[in-house]
Amino acid sequence: MKSHFSARWAAAFVPLCMALLLLKLGLFGNHIWGSEGSGVSPLLLVKLPLVLGADILGAALGALLVAVVASLGGQHRHWADGAGALMTYGLLFLAVVSTFTVVFAGGLLNKSALDSMQIILGSGGKSTNEGFWASVEAYFTTSFLSALVIIPLVGGITFIWLRPRGKRVLAWLRQRWVWPALLVETMVTVVILPFFMSGEIGGIRVYTVGLEKSPFIELGWSYLRPALRGLTRTDIDLGDEFRLPLEAQHEAAGNPPLADTRPIRSNVLLIMMESVGEAYLADKEDPMPYLRSFGQRPGTVRFLQHYSTWSLTTKALFSLLCSELPYPNYKPISLVNPAIPARSLPEVLQGEGYRTAYITSQDFAYDRQLRFLKHRHFDLFLDMHNLKGHEDAWYGKWGIDDAVTVRAVLEEAQKPGPFFILFGMVSGHHPFVASRTQEENPDGTRVTEYLRALRYADDQIRALLEGLQEAGVLQDTLVVIVSDHGEGHGRHEGRNTYEEVVKVPAAFFGPQLAGLQLQVERVTSHLDIAPTILGLLGLPIPCTMKGRNLVSDGEPRVAFFGGRPPKFQLGLPSLPIKSETPG
């Protein structure tokens, strides 16, 4: 009986282990290679054996379960073999789906993921279900569906083929020292697993983004953990794990700030400035007079209490395009989960017949942004390396002269058909030199050079909008101007969450705002930009977007934001709570 059980255990373990290792290698490859063929980090290669071990442990537990079921067949060997093969197929199917959720949804399949899907699909609202499927259907690719069938099928066939060869498989493993090596690898992984969770080993960052986990162990433990937690008394109410409360307590609900606008289908130009803090616009030198005029002349609106979600460009961009809070750590979405199933502003607009383009003065290689952007439905990418005229243009440390990019935006905007253009600027970025003239005539002080760079950025925005007006395009274009984040100087440096680092200017101009002239004091966030643009266009807003449509939503909200390492600060604006007592 012992020999019979061992043979079946070996026949179950080998196909499970082989298939899981194959999946883990594929996931590892997806993690280390970007869309543009970025290099392989030596540190990632060193930790590869450690990352694989958890799946070997998961395969062993799954194989034991299969072997037990297969051994219970007794004289009914065909029934036992069929049950074992079916269970093997099921476990491998689970592994493929769980791997898919790591790559495209940011985490392994577990109780939270299943409960979240049940909440979305069981909400009873047709529009919610449609929005959910519209958000995820693009990720059911041919490769995923093929893996969903082929890998479990190969595993099941391998199980049946290896059943009568179990003893020889065990003997081969012993002779080749494979079995001891797998055992050592598994033990090492279990020992260092807590360090993986914290993201460091011996002071070295070795983020694994779920690679160290086993789908079997993760799913089982996610159901077992609440039961064990219930055995110990606690007065802590964890609340709804799927909802982060964003309601502000210091102000009452009111009319939506843009309630008097008229939704019109128009072009969209989103200008993302670089490192422009709202605090510096009030400087006595008035570095951006053109931007400051928004809200003071007809057809313009300026938000005076607008906050970025993070003091890092890639993280802020994620919030602007997808209306999502970024990953609560330094790593941007392009490294954590580039294909996250969150519908973006360009994706919605492309579906409505818009041409979509991202034209930036910076470099898409920074933070490997294209790993994220390639899933956001842009038709055109232009950066400092392929802009027309870049060969003879002035280059700074972080990008090309914004004047070159302005010309490219003007050219793209005059092509036929409605457009969505994201214009990414570089003026304002450290070391605060924005043009050849400024480089050749330095002022010498950090803050003064920064203000000069902001003045140059203001001039380029003016030149762009005047160029659109001359081309007859501006009157049919919704223009949104916002900064990715602010800038700190001295002790309030950029990595800390001070007001000048996270409080940024935001302004709107377009045919939808005709007759308006507003300066809005209500707290707003990068999360509100994409839904508000869609609201001004009269288009439906995907259920994955977390922000408000300021055309129709007047509920007060707080603004969350975070800072850079080494502190990783999180925060929200500290505003005085108004007393309810008269006087």
Angle in degrees, CA 209, 328, 398, rounded to 5 = 90
Q: What is the pLDDT of residue 417?
A: 95
Output Rg (C-alpha) for the chain, integer angstroms: 28
In-domain check, residue 401:
yes
Q: What is the pLDDT of residue 39?
A: 47
Minimal CA–CA distance to 97: which of 7, 252, 105, 450? Answer: 105
Same domain flag for 77 and 175: yes
Same domain flag for 212 and 276: no
Phi, psi of 334 (to 5 degrees): -65, -20
* 483 in Cβ contact with 274 (< 8 Å): yes
Question: SS3 for 487?
Answer: coil
Minimal CA–CA distance to 413: which of 472, 485, 350, 363? Answer: 472
* Structure tokens given for 144: 């995923």
Last residue of a domain, one of 185, 211, 230: 230
Minimal CA–CA distance to 531: which of 122, 131, 32? Answer: 131
Domain count across the chain: 2
Q: Which domain holds residue 47?
A: 2-230
In-domain check, residue 244:
no
In-domain check, residue 553:
yes
In-domain check, residue 12:
yes
* Structure tokens given for 314: 């890639």
Same domain flag for 284 and 430: yes
Same domain flag for 335 and 463: yes
Same domain flag for 324 and 407: yes
Same domain flag for 201 and 302: no
Burial zone of 437 (CB within 10 Å; 0-12 exposed, 13-18 middle, 19+ buried): exposed
Same domain flag for 394 and 513: yes
Residues in the chain: 583
Look at the block and give the residue holding tokens 């003026």. 427
Last residue of a domain, one of 230, 252, 285: 230
In-domain check, residue 239:
no
Q: How far apart are CA 512 and CA 258, in angstroms?
A: 10
Look at the block and give the residue holding tokens 């392989």. 40
Q: What is the pLDDT of residue 539?
A: 95
* Structure tokens given for 56: 């070997």
Same domain flag for 434 and 285: yes
* Structure tokens given for 93: 């199917």
In-domain check, residue 572:
no
pLDDT in tens, the chain (583 residues): 455 666 667 677 777 777 787 788 877 776 666 444 344 556 666 667 777 777 777 888 888 887 787 777 656 667 766 777 788 788 888 888 887 777 666 667 888 777 766 665 654 444 445 556 666 666 677 777 888 888 888 877 777 777 666 667 667 666 666 667 767 777 776 676 655 554 555 555 555 666 777 888 888 888 888 778 777 755 555 555 545 667 766 666 678 889 999 999 999 999 999 999 998 888 777 899 999 999 999 999 999 999 999 888 999 999 999 999 988 777 788 877 888 888 899 999 999 999 999 999 999 988 889 888 988 999 999 999 999 999 999 999 899 999 999 999 999 999 999 999 999 999 999 889 999 998 888 877 888 999 999 999 999 999 999 999 999 999 999 999 999 999 887 655 555 677 888 899 999 999 999 989 999 988 899 999 999 999 999 999 988 899 999 999 888 888 877 766 555 567 766 554 333 333 2
**Pairing mode, if any, of strands 419-424 and 267-273?**
parallel
Last residue of a domain, one of 209, 230, 251: 230
CATH number of the CATH domain containing 434? 3.40.720.10
Burial zone of 583 (CB within 10 Å; 0-12 exposed, 13-18 middle, 19+ buried): exposed
Q: How far apart are CA 120 and CA 124, in angstroms?
A: 9
Same domain flag for 424 and 302: yes
In-domain check, residue 235:
no
Q: What is the pLDDT of residue 576?
A: 44
**Pairing mode, if any, of strands 419-424 and 204-205?**
unpaired
In-domain check, residue 327:
yes
pTM (2 decimals)?
0.80
Same domain flag for 282 and 202: no
Same domain flag for 12 and 60: yes
Q: How far apart are CA 158 and CA 169, in angstroms?
A: 12
Q: How far apart are CA 74 and CA 91, in angstroms?
A: 23
Same domain flag for 192 and 281: no
* 548 in Cβ contact with 557 (< 8 Å): yes
